[in-house]
Amino acid sequence: MWKIKDRLKKLSYSELMLKALCTFTLLIYLYCVLNITLIDRTPGMRRHVFRPLWEVSVMLKSGDYSYWSGQIGGNLVMLLPLGFMLPIMSEKFRSIKAAAVIGFAFSIFIEFAQYYTGRGLFESDDILHNTIGACIGCIIYVIISNRLPDKVTETDQ
């Protein structure tokens, strides 16, 4: 707890406000994800599909590219903001590996919760696509942060 307090004291006002805004936004985002994937769904049967890339296979066989690309794309996009926002909040999350671990863990949580509550289909594809989405979010963060000018220090002025 003291380490966090010490780190926060070292931040400028604008950095502190950015982290606070990002934290607030992240909480709203997490609620929205949980609402879409769990809260707003009616309980039913427990179902699962463990076969990797089954959605891509069905899409290619059926020719229904709009529905399946929407499913796959939706899962890629769903955790993209997580991979983007976490590096803003902490330097610990500024790597693709960290984004992959967090994306994988959060996706596993969602899928197990869906299965346990019967509020969705546990899919290995969702875990894969969500994890990739979190990594894409982190890559976007890295690209944007590398293009921003470094902070001006007092000695530079």
Handedness of CA 83, 92, 97, 114 (dihedral sign): negative
d(CA 81, CA 131): 12
Per-residue pLDDT of the chain in tens (157 residues, 90 and over written 9): 567 677 777 778 888 888 889 999 999 999 999 999 999 999 988 888 888 888 888 888 998 888 888 888 999 999 999 999 999 988 899 999 999 999 999 999 999 999 999 999 899 999 999 999 999 999 999 999 999 887 544 444 4
Residue 49 included in any domain:
yes
Residue 153 included in any domain:
no
Angle at 2 between CA 97 and CA 95, to 5 degrees: 10
Nearest to 115 by CA among 37, 18, 19: 37
- Which structural domain, as residue segments, surrounds residue 91? 10-148
Residue 156 included in any domain:
no
Torsion-angle region of residue 142: left (phi > 0), alpha (psi -120 to 50) or beta?
alpha
- Element spanning 67, H or E: helix 65-78
Q: Are 118 and 46 in contact (CB under 8 A)?
A: yes
Residue 3 included in any domain:
no
Residue 2 included in any domain:
no
- The number of folded domains in the chain is 1
Write down the pTM of the prediction.
Answer: 0.85
Q: Are 55 and 72 in contact (CB under 8 A)?
A: yes
3-state helix, strand and coil shares in percent for the chain, rounded to the nearest 5: 75, 5, 20
Residue 5 included in any domain:
no
Residue 4 included in any domain:
no
Residue 1 included in any domain:
no
- Element spanning 100, H or E: helix 96-117
